[in-house]
Amino acid sequence: MKYDFTFYNPTRIHFGKDAMQKLPEELAAYGKNVMLLYGKGAIKRIGLYDEVVKVLTECGKNIVECGGIKPNPSYSQVLEGARLVRENDVDLILAVGGGSVVDCAKAISVAAYVEGDAWQKYWVDFEPFSGRVVPVASILTMVGTGSEMNGGSVITNEDVMIKEGRVFPPEVYPKFSILNPEFTYSVPHIQMVSGIFDIISHLCEQYFSGDDDNVSDYLIEADLKAVIRNARIANKDPQNYEARSNIMWASTVALNRITGLSKTQDWEVHGIEHQLGAYTDCPHGLGLAVISLPYYRYIYRYGLHQFVRFAKNVWEVDPVGKTDEEIALAGIDAMEAFIEEMGMPKTLRELGATEEMLPLIANSVEEGGGYHTVTHAEILEILKACF
């Protein structure tokens, strides 16, 4: 373990088929005014909206509705939510939906009473967080982001075509999150596999960092193997509770900070995809899947030892008779085969990107990386390779 760290995660998780039974006792800790934040209506189709409203009403809460949150939540939606929080003196923001809704809830939480412009302060200048926090909680319906147990908030500012993530300190984390794997059954197949690759990408971003061979690497390998195994089961049987529950918990573990301790981490694939998402509004995990293959084929030589380990320990590549380079590439090939098996797209064209977008996307990504810092020119080549 190369680097010192402090680990603290305050989110209380209620997990399982009966997790919703914990909602009334959790609500008792907060005032009367609750913002019900949700997406474009999926929770109404599955009956979860009615169930949540019933509990809130029985607990004597005043409901402030804010629906229609986009899969890539926009800053304009954050500002609208912040206005509703102030006007209704909201005591708790209850996000019901996928990670994008939870991300938006955190952004509303910090923007409601901020001095100045929240976007400039927190997503551009990355100033240390200060000020009043409106408590956030979540009921999850889609897995992938890990937002239910971390401080991450990815927001798109459509005025400047920038999609940016900010990690807030523990006071902004959800106070509690309810995770019932059955709530994820209604998610369309393409959204399910998108979330699955989001989990894989989170783990890879922490794994391929340069600070290798510590406890975190062993945890990441185990979580990756769990995701891959259960994804294959869920791909054939989407309502297999054991598989969906394992995927759900693997997602939470992948980004609640435990797997990244004492590692510098990479996050360049995410940086590229965020800008792809700003231009195309594509599903996040699918964008990650498309970008990951050319990116890792570009940088593997700079961290060859870790890519060899990845191939052998995660994808069970047989090393006999192969050079280290052949082993590493076989591991990336195995990831590509998994992407195909899951039915994910493999090109940017399939996600709505045009050739004209590629330089705009490349030039708006911050140069960075783990083993190798990619330049804007290199990012453009990576984008061309997966176009």
- Per-residue pLDDT tens digits for 95-151: 999 999 999 999 999 999 999 999 999 999 999 998 899 999 999 999 999 999 999
Percent of the chain residues topping a pLDDT of 90: 93
- Confidence band of 210 (pLDDT split at 50, 70, 90): confident
What are phi and psi for residue 335, nearest 5 degrees? -65, -40
Strand-pair partners of 178? 14, 139
Q: pTM for this structure?
A: 0.96
- Per-residue pLDDT tens digits for 289-329: 999 999 999 999 999 999 999 999 999 999 999 999 999 99
Domains and CATH numbers, the chain: 12-183 (3.40.50.1970), 189-385 (1.20.1090.10)
Output the pLDDT for position 73.
95
- Report the SS3 class of residue 53: helix
Output the pLDDT for position 3.
82
- Per-residue pLDDT tens digits for 78-88: 999 999 999 99
Q: Where are the alpha helices (DSSP H) in 146-283?
A: 189-207, 215-236, 241-254, 268-280
**Dist CA 255 CA 177 (whole Å):** 14
**Dist CA 168 CA 223 (whole Å):** 24
- Confidence band of 16 (pLDDT split at 50, 70, 90): very high
**Dist CA 287 CA 285 (whole Å):** 5
Contacts of 331-339 with CB under 8 Å at 24 or more apart are 331/307, 332/293, 332/296, 332/297, 332/300, 332/307, 335/200, 335/292, 335/293, 335/296, 336/293, 338/228, 338/231, 339/197, 339/289, 339/293
- Counted residue by residue, the chain has a size of 387
Using alpha carbons only, how large is the chain's radius of gyration in Å?
20
**Dist CA 46 CA 67 (whole Å):** 15
- Per-residue pLDDT tens digits for 226-248: 999 999 999 999 999 999 999 99
Strand-pair partners of 155? 164
Average pLDDT for the chain: 96
